[in-house]
Structure 1
Amino acid sequence: MRMRVPLFAALALVGLSGFAAAQTPFYPYYNKNNIHYDRFDWHIYATDHFEIYYYPELEHHLERVTGYAESAYQKVSSDLKHDLSFKVPLILFKTHSEFEQQNVAPGAGQEGVGAFAEPFRDRMLLPIDDPPDRLFGLITHELTHIFEFDIIPQSLIRRSVPLWVNEGLSEYERADWTPFDLMQVRDGAVADIIPKMTTEEGYGSGGARFLAYNLGHAVFEFIEAKFGQEGIRQFLFSLRKSVIGGGEDAYQEAFKMSPEEFDQAFDRYLKERFKPFRDKERPADYGRDLSPNPEKTRFSQAWSIAPSPSGDLLAIITINRKDGELDIVLVSSKDGTVVRNLTDGFDKDYGFTNLTQMGVDGFAMPWMSWSPKGDRLAYFVRTEKERSLIVQNVLTRKIEVRVPMKSVDEPESPSFSPDGRLVAFSAMRGGTRDIYTVDLESQDVVNLTLDDFFDFGPAYAPNGRFILYNARVSGNQKLFRLDLDTKRKTQVTFGTHDEAGAQFVDDHTIVFASTATDPAVAIEPEVARNGNIFNIWTLDMNTGELRQFTDALGGNTSPVVLRDGSSHRIAFVSYYKGEHSIRTLERTEPIHSVASADFGAPGPIIDFQPPLTHALVSSNARRKGAWEKMFLEGRPPVNLGVTNNGDVFGGTQISFGDVLGDKQFNVFAASIAQYRTLSVAYVNLGSRFQYALTGFNSTQFFYGALEGVFYDPSLAPLIGRDQAIATRTVRGGSAIGLYPFNRYRRLEVSGGLVNLTEGYNDPYLQAYSEAYQQELTGGQSLLRSGTLVPLGVAFVSETTVFREFGPLAGSTMRLAYDIAPKIGSTLSRQSFDGDVRYYQRLASTGVLALRLRGFKSIGDYPDYIYFGGNSEMRGYDYLQFLGQNVVFTNAELRFPIIEAALTPIGVIGGIRGVFFANMGAGWFNSQDFKFWTSDRESASVTTGYTRAASGEIVPVIEQRTIDGFRLRDARASYGIGLETFALGFPIHFDWAWRTLFNTQWEDALFVDQGGSTDFRKPRFSIWIGYDF
């Protein structure tokens, strides 16, 4: 397993001590930055069941959010007949971009994650930028997780709780089926693709990202229908016993049913529940699929579409299976042929993190907009904290306009004005979503709606005089018209159903998706509850006539107009069997027509009110103390590695953090062989500048088997590798600061006070070596003991794209300079260290990985590093090389062989292969070093040893002439290897061949080891650790 805080843990081991990394660590990456763009002034507000953490910018929302939270507690507690014995820490953020800066679980609050609850300290974290009714549902969902964690303690788990249980119960308590939630379950029931829930297989895969949530919701409604709410409670407590051990099967105990019988009963329940929808339209009823063919392209599905003004092309948001990212692809509106990928390659290569992922209405609102001339496409991307508007030329792929949206949060759904000068969009400001415009030339942003409702999906009228948009009022999404001259807002659709983003067919007709049904046809309440299906409708805004054109089983969304001269077609996204496809509407006559007035007329807008309201009590609020609420952060992680020499590495870290994760006290312990490292650190992550204060005691070993440097060459045959084990012990304290320039690059500064002790484990060898070195260097020992005051600065760049097996693409660079100045009797030196890596993806998951590492130290007491073995110099012994100067390079071709393997011990990670080549060397400043040469030279070769008359052992020297290119003092190797993941750890099997590129030279240099023949024999090794 990877360490939970890899960045500061790695720095605590090496960087803070002022010494260059002795070898590549077992997690050899520098990591991207988790940036705290904002500094929050945290306060705490206490209620009966919560401790709510907020900052002043949230204060005017605190009263209503507190009412939502207490209402949610009463609901969940009543349903489960369970009370919590503690107050729940509820950490609030004003916007999602601020939520993403949380430090409770760095990286967990990504785009697409609405909120989360963590199981170890029962904290809830969420932004409050949803409409009121949905925010109440979100709080209820996350609070249910806290109840689940309390009922089934996660720290005691022996077996995992199925995802559908955790998420399904939370959705059941939220008690709100959105049209997209129901779409997935209804589709699965009618298409007969419901997985076996008790086996935990099949429901979390594919493009249906939230299928586990929604099927789980349906399972708990099934349990309630068959066994009542008491059945739900009985199941949870039976599952508790089953999970922590000591109980029988949860299904048998709670329901007197085997898991197979439970699956069968649930399947029958769903099919019966959705039986009335069996005869609804499938996508095939609308004609051919225009989305990319997943069997012939790397693309899968279509999430949103936008037509070019000419109607010839469709821009689609699709999944690029090769890159693992969303892409914008142009396809032909005639046959779906892929014309061009506008975002080909990784998003980072275009200067942004990712395409903006829409929220819960992502399939309902537009994602892109074409310019009136049809030569440019507008869309939003994530860049640092804010999003940016991108206007891209569709012919050249060049990004012509980039507008950072620093004055608003979460902009989405761009729409070009008819003159191409403005782009309208939806965005957040002050906790409310409105419709804005941005001038592409001046980049001025103007709020058009400025009201208390959440507004979405603007679309300009063809004449540019008004904008149509979507607003959530009285619990439903309705269409409104905004007159741009008078700023008057007029509601244009009515009723207790939802409409999605609209597009103009002509100057008075709009097309949109709606969950409406014919008001003249009575529908059974249960059928209506299970329907809520998006279909394609049009509205004539002059006459008020509404026309329904589809009657789908799954749902039809994102309707657009494909213009072909004077005629037009309607294209849309249709959902069936877990897939989103693109269809066109051939029919010209509607299924039925109704008057807009049949759905009602404008009436009073009813604000959402939770079951309980709350009046703020000022005495319950206080500023959070700097060291308040410190506790143990979860279970300590475990790190494991094995060198190619068989040395076992193990490490763990215990963290004490505050409730916000901004301040941590970390105790890190690690060992390799019998040598141990212990560090204690205080880490502050609460601002953009992050820092740590560390005390450490670290002992690392190396092999001082270097004749002519540490001891006389004549003793080389008598001093074996294991006899030459030496140690470096550093004790002291240091401080490090990190300042991230952006997500990929940062500056590191450090300083400290360190006591250094180096020496051989063998006291006799130590005494001899010290005397030899002092004689050789004029009184100075290479094995140093003393005190240093190291100061350092480093620049780090990390753009690497990772997959489960390691790096896939991108680059890494760390350039460091360290100096230990002479202060009194302290040791002095200067060191330069560089590590540069490049990863070129080949096909889907093949990688060409290149690395160059260089190190040089100068001064009165130069530093030196030791390396070799594992991923550094395969084929050589672990830490075989050392020097005050180091250069080595690696080139590896990594490729997949088997994606996954079923073995007697279960499914293990895929098997990957590697072809590798390495070359490098380490040397001391006093040595006569030459990396390579082609010069002819005479070499003195020691062919053996003899005893002189005096009894002294003397070498037998033979002169040999060496020609041709060769590595004189450097070493190289090449070979093949296999890698697989077992029990979460990367295991490597390598076959390596060493070479100096000249057999004459190898015969001479290794004459006492069998010459070139033995030197070039393949060497097999096994090691555990991550590739560079």
Structure 2
Amino acid sequence: MLCLRLRHFALAALCCAVVLPATGQYTSHFGRNKIQYENFDWHVLETEHFDIYHYSEMQELAEYGAAFAEEAYEELQNRFNFSLTHRPPLIFYSSNLHFKQTNITPGFIPDGVGGFFEFLKGRVVIPANGNVHQFRRVIRHELVHVFTYAKVLRVIRDHRVPPERFLPLWFTEGLAEYWSGSPDESHEMIMRDAVYSNYLVPLSSIYRINGTFLMYKQGEALCRFLAETWGEEKLLRLIENFWKDRDFRHVMEVTFLEDFQEIDRKWQEWLRERYFQEIDDLELASIKARGVATEGFNAKPTFYRFADGSRKVYFVGNLTGYSNVYQVEVDSLFRPLGKPEILIRGERTDNFESLHVFESRMGISGDGKLAFVAKSGEADVIHVYDLVGDVLLATYGFDGLVAVYSPAWSPDGERLVFSSITGSGFSDLFVYDIPAGQLHRLTNDSYDDLDPAWSPDGRRIAFSSDRTTMGKHDAYNIFAYDLDEGTIGYVTFGERLDHSPRWSPDGRQLVFTSAVRGADGRYGAQNIWTAEAPVDASPEMASSGAGATVLLTESGHAPGGVSAGRRLRRLTNLTTSAFDPVWTEEGNLLFTGFEHMRFSIRSLPAADSLWTHPRSEEIVDPTKAEEPWTFARIDAQDREESVRYKKQFTLDLAQTIVSQNPVWGTQGGAALAFSDLMGDDKWFFTVFNNSRGTSDFLRSLNVAISRQQLHRRTNTAYGLYRFAGLRYDITDPDAARTFPTLWETIYGGYGLISYPISMFRRIEAGTSLSWDDKYIPWAQVDRQALLVSNSVSLVHDNVLWGMNGPIEGYRGSVLTAWTTDVLYSNVSYLTFAADVRNYWRLHRHITFASRGLGRMNKGKEARLFFMGGSWDLRGFPLFSVRGQKMWFTSHELRFPILLAPWLSLPVLAPLGVANLRGAFFFDAAHAWNASYYEPRLSNALRRQLNIGETVGAIGGGLRLNLFGGLVLRYDVGYRYRDGFRHRERFFKQFFFGWDF
């Protein structure tokens, strides 16, 4: 689970509106920061059916997207037999790094998310990644969701069924994948591996993988099977029939007139027939190649041989939850000599916020300098690490470049070539001259240029691109950029996906991966291939309009700078896929292999012999190439419909509540929330009444108006409020200890700011001015004050979360505040609070957690802090320990008992029961007011109030995650008093909540 900074900020704003003016107490909420680095200048392109939101730098891409959306609308309108009655907003970002800044969703967006459809306002949010084909496919995918949701609402209204019912996730996502295009290579890879490795989840149990990548691909395969077996119109019939039964299995039986178990059996049989017919002569990567790093998820290997003859393999991996750069020493046969060790710790500090595990390769120069990419702040940077000296040498960031991928060194070690996405949303090649500090652009067009690799002689750069004339059909070929001539030529050609080229040490061969599309339109496994390296040629040249030129023959076709008829050799015939091959000096091939839903680093020995005796050979002829391709687009320059975005607020939430209580009487209230389309600006309105009779109705009227603005890096919140009536306040020092009620009227205003220093640290500050009238008849308290409250805090959080709570990392906060009555001097006190929590991973599933907390309110009418209960001081009743000053420490050893209880008790599977863990704990705390030991109080009274002595608990407990979000806690142990000199009694506590 991920901590959401936006939610914490909203909660802090709400708490301050209610509590801050009266008390001057502040609570720092942990969580990482979602930072808005860019001030996007939004424009709206209005098409026939959509409003396309984009910023000016990506106008060309938005025009493509507008055409894709209209194209998809026409097709889906026919498929659904349904027309939309509204204009869905489509919000485009030019890169994933810009996409991560969106406020449309409050949560963090990880790498690899292609977009989302937001139900509340029907917004579709999609980033570009340089690949126009993928951009088109994601638009179609999300628009399937738009149509599905609208169709479901129509079915619900037509048949008057409860609105909480909806289609299962596997069907909605599977249908979106199926109707977004033909199966891509990733689909074939996953399904092929699931069938061969026997982890395919039956339809009857598909809820077990809800929300996973496997569910998406199995859902797509299911929809394709249903369409091919019973006809595509039956998919629409499933949507139209879903109202007939809450159990979707029965809906399927009604629609297909087949028993559900029979449908499940036929689908698995269909998959076996589809893939097992290809299994002859296939090879498992785990058998064909030696494992170098096989635990966890690992990718992007590279290699270096030190002066003393030792060898190390470097790769990016996720073995424990954080992504890191790893190293492992190997022998001459590339057998690992130990376990992988962390070289660079990622996702913990500002410099290495994200390492893009599956997106960016690393490069090593001849003198042992490792170049790799990490997100740092608003953009990606290239870090250079000296492997010999074991030190970070330099960090290079580039103005105007947002996402950076796959840096590769020139042979002289003075230049770096890499691909990058600019604000336009397109991916191009760049060269950075380190001594001169100059950046040179090699390509500048809408094609997707990836994975550059410098030739050993330094004259050419090989790269993968969809600029091939078959690129309109989603093909990628290998090209070579001639640095002397400024020309681009083909190395491979055809309707295939050629990626990740690397040169052989002698420069005579290029090794790459390729998945070839078969006659049935499906991609085969992605295997390792080689191609002859480019040689000199002197054909005519024609400008591509991109600053480089494309080589053409006399007939006007593009041969790639070489004679026609290039020989390609396939070295492997794997069951699934290989990625990122690297040719070592010894003639081995390092690569990433996918098998059994895991990415592993492997070594393929004797690559020269495989080249001599390949699994197959092909001759490709680039002279058949045609003119460059492009997609149609809607030109915004010639349309009056392209306008600047204007902020408009619409309703997010409207909720009312009425309650009856024998103590508090009848209470009622309402809450409204509004926000703009981008989620950057939010208004909150709250009104409620807690009067005990008609006579004090107006006196007990409570109103609050708040606004949050999140479009800048510094987030702000401010508001006005009036709170009045009978209150229950355990922090008020004048209220009764047993039942702390009081009459209080507060009205005023507040302001908050939150400035994120980085993803992991932020500074928060708040201020308020309020009139406070407090009345406690039994205590003869009738106090009025004009309160000014100010606070400032520093928060740090880089923890990694498991299913039950944090499992590794560090989080802490320090806060100071001052509250004073500027009119009567009835109130004046200082607040200090610090909370530090550390989590040490002793083993993959074992964590030692330690927490230290100190709080102090000192001065006139200083408020009380509180603790007690399962969330902090166990063994004591909830909130039973109260004092103006306190310290608390807790230590836990957390360990697994059953990671998947539903495997032992399948009946628990539908309940989402997971991760049964145990813990041994030690808690200790001390609270006091005037004096640490409170000598003015009797021992009996100290024990009754739980102050003036050190108390604690020792014991153990169980934790169980239910439904993926609710953690149940059961603790047993002994509670102690008098500095642990007196064991008081045995206790049992059952509650809920995350581990601290």
SS in 1 for 2:31: coil
CA distance in 1, matches of 2:874, 2:276: 63
Per-residue deviation at 1:912?
3.3
Q: Does 2:64 match 1:64?
A: yes
Tell me, yes or no, if the aligned pair for 1:190 and 1:277 is still in contact at 8 Å. no
SS in 2 for 1:135: helix
Equivalent in 642, 663, 670 of residue 621 of structure 1: 642
Deviations 1:886-925 (A, max 9, x none): 333333333333334347663434333333334444443x
Identity, in percent, stands at 21
CA distance in 2, matches of 1:338, 1:507: 32
Cα separation, partners in 2 of 1:785 and 1:913, compared to 1, 3 Å = farther
- Give the AA of the match of 1:6: H
Equivalent runs, 1:965-1004 vs 2, <5 Å = 969-978=948-957, 979-982=959-962, 984-997=965-978
Which stretch has the larger CA shift, 50-59 or 319-328? 319-328
Equivalent runs, 1:724-763 vs 2, <5 Å = 730-758=746-774, 763=777
Tell me, yes or no, if the aligned pair for 1:662 and 1:685 is still in contact at 8 Å. yes
Per-residue deviation at 1:663?
1.3
CA distance in 2, matches of 1:940, 1:67: 78
Tell me, yes or no, if the aligned pair for 1:109 and 1:115 is still in contact at 8 Å. no
Cα separation, partners in 2 of 1:670 and 1:338, compared to 1, 3 Å = farther
Note the residue ranges of structure 1 that are not aligned, 5 or more in a row: 294-298, 518-522, 639-649, 712-718, 771-782, 945-966, 1003-1011
Q: Does 2:651 match 1:631?
A: yes
Per-residue deviation at 1:683?
1.1
Per-residue deviation at 1:46?
2.2
Per-residue deviation at 1:91?
0.8
Equivalent runs, 1:838-917 vs 2, <5 Å = 838-841=837-840, 842-902=842-902, 906-917=911-922
Equivalent runs, 1:460-475 vs 2, <5 Å = 460-473=454-467, 474=469, 475=471
SS in 1 for 2:282: coil
Equivalent runs, 1:111-126 vs 2, <5 Å = 111-126=111-126
Give the equivalent residue in structure 2 for 1:482: 481
CA distance in 2, matches of 1:458, 1:15: 54
Cα separation, partners in 2 of 1:412 and 1:998, compared to 1, 3 Å = closer
Per-residue deviation at 1:604?
3.0
**Whose Rg is larger?**
1
CA distance in 1, matches of 2:458, 2:150: 56
Equivalent in 532, 538, 542 of residue 531 of structure 2: 538
Equivalent in 613, 631, 636 of residue 590 of structure 1: 613
Tell me, yes or no, if the aligned pair for 2:116 and 2:124 is still in contact at 8 Å. yes
Cα separation, partners in 2 of 1:592 and 1:899, compared to 1, 3 Å = closer
Give the equivalent residue in structure 1 for 2:579: 557
- Give the AA of the match of 2:920: F
Give the equivalent residue in structure 1 for 2:728: 701
Cα separation, partners in 2 of 1:82 and 1:704, compared to 1, 3 Å = closer
Per-residue deviation at 1:437?
2.2
- Give the AA of the match of 1:823: V
Q: Does 2:319 match 1:300?
A: no
Tell me, yes or no, if the aligned pair for 1:286 and 1:583 is still in contact at 8 Å. no
Cα separation, partners in 2 of 1:876 and 1:264, compared to 1, 3 Å = closer
Q: Does 2:404 match 1:414?
A: no
CA distance in 2, matches of 1:877, 1:593: 73
Equivalent runs, 1:7-18 vs 2, <5 Å = 7-14=9-16, 17-18=19-20
SS in 2 for 1:222: helix
Equivalent in 677, 680, 694 of residue 662 of structure 1: 680
SS in 2 for 1:531: coil
CA distance in 1, matches of 2:222, 2:283: 25
Cα separation, partners in 2 of 1:745 and 1:676, compared to 1, 3 Å = farther
Per-residue deviation at 1:741?
1.5
Give the equivalent residue in structure 2 for 1:689: 714
Per-residue deviation at 1:265?
1.3
SS in 2 for 1:347: coil
Cα separation, partners in 2 of 1:38 and 1:637, compared to 1, 3 Å = farther
CA distance in 1, matches of 2:296, 2:773: 59
Per-residue deviation at 1:532?
6.3
Tell me, yes or no, if the aligned pair for 2:324 and 2:344 is still in contact at 8 Å. no
Tell me, yes or no, if the aligned pair for 1:836 and 1:851 is still in contact at 8 Å. yes
Deviations 1:85-143 (A, max 9, x none): 21111011122211111111123533211211122322100123433332211211111
SS in 2 for 1:498: strand
CA distance in 2, matches of 1:943, 1:279: 83
CA distance in 1, matches of 2:431, 2:973: 62
RMSD: 3.9
CA distance in 1, matches of 2:596, 2:899: 25
Cα separation, partners in 2 of 1:15 and 1:534, compared to 1, 3 Å = farther
Deviations 1:852-910 (A, max 9, x none): 33333445544443444443333333333434433333333333333343476634343
- Give the AA of the match of 1:81: N
CA distance in 1, matches of 2:22, 2:337: 54
CA distance in 1, matches of 2:689, 2:31: 23
CA distance in 2, matches of 1:895, 1:87: 52
Cα separation, partners in 2 of 1:991 and 1:193, compared to 1, 3 Å = closer
Give the equivalent residue in structure 2 for 1:320: 318
Per-residue deviation at 1:318?
5.8
Equivalent in 233, 238, 257 of residue 235 of structure 1: 238
Cα separation, partners in 2 of 1:513 and 1:919, compared to 1, 3 Å = closer
Cα separation, partners in 2 of 1:941 and 1:545, compared to 1, 3 Å = closer
CA distance in 1, matches of 2:110, 2:594: 26
Tell me, yes or no, if the aligned pair for 1:179 and 1:534 is still in contact at 8 Å. no
Give the equivalent residue in structure 2 for 1:601: 623
Cα separation, partners in 2 of 1:185 and 1:858, compared to 1, 3 Å = closer
Per-residue deviation at 1:337?
4.2
Give the equivalent residue in structure 2 for 1:948: none
Tell me, yes or no, if the aligned pair for 2:34 and 2:759 is still in contact at 8 Å. yes
Give the equivalent residue in structure 2 for 1:448: 442
* TM-score (norm. length: structure 2): 0.82
Give the equivalent residue in structure 1 for 2:290: 289
Cα separation, partners in 2 of 1:13 and 1:583, compared to 1, 3 Å = same
Give the equivalent residue in structure 1 for 2:546: none
- Give the AA of the match of 1:816: L
Give the equivalent residue in structure 1 for 2:540: none
Per-residue deviation at 1:730?
4.8
Note the residue ranges of structure 2 that are not aligned, 5 or more in a row: 157-161, 536-562, 658-667, 693-699
SS in 2 for 1:873: coil
CA distance in 1, matches of 2:257, 2:122: 32
Give the equivalent residue in structure 1 for 2:817: 818
Q: Does 2:220 match 1:217?
A: yes
Q: Does 2:782 match 1:789?
A: no
Give the equivalent residue in structure 2 for 1:432: 426
Give the equivalent residue in structure 2 for 1:127: 127
Tell me, yes or no, if the aligned pair for 1:323 and 1:345 is still in contact at 8 Å. no
CA distance in 2, matches of 1:558, 1:248: 42
CA distance in 2, matches of 1:261, 1:459: 51
Give the equivalent residue in structure 2 for 1:166: 172
CA distance in 1, matches of 2:645, 2:937: 75
- Report the number of matched residues: 912
CA distance in 2, matches of 1:684, 1:940: 49
Tell me, yes or no, if the aligned pair for 1:972 and 1:996 is still in contact at 8 Å. yes
Equivalent in 550, 553, 573 of residue 592 of structure 2: 573
CA distance in 1, matches of 2:867, 2:242: 51
SS in 1 for 2:291: coil
Deviations 1:820-845 (A, max 9, x none): 45533465424232222121223234
Which stretch has the larger CA shift, 735-744 or 867-876? 867-876
Give the equivalent residue in structure 2 for 1:334: 334
Which stretch has the larger CA shift, 692-701 or 790-799? 692-701
Equivalent in 350, 370, 377 of residue 377 of structure 1: 370
- Give the AA of the match of 1:7: F
Cα separation, partners in 2 of 1:1018 and 1:29, compared to 1, 3 Å = farther
CA distance in 2, matches of 1:802, 1:669: 36
Cα separation, partners in 2 of 1:816 and 1:676, compared to 1, 3 Å = farther
* TM-score (norm. length: structure 1): 0.80
Cα separation, partners in 2 of 1:198 and 1:595, compared to 1, 3 Å = closer
Tell me, yes or no, if the aligned pair for 1:185 and 1:215 is still in contact at 8 Å. yes
Cα separation, partners in 2 of 1:21 and 1:465, compared to 1, 3 Å = farther
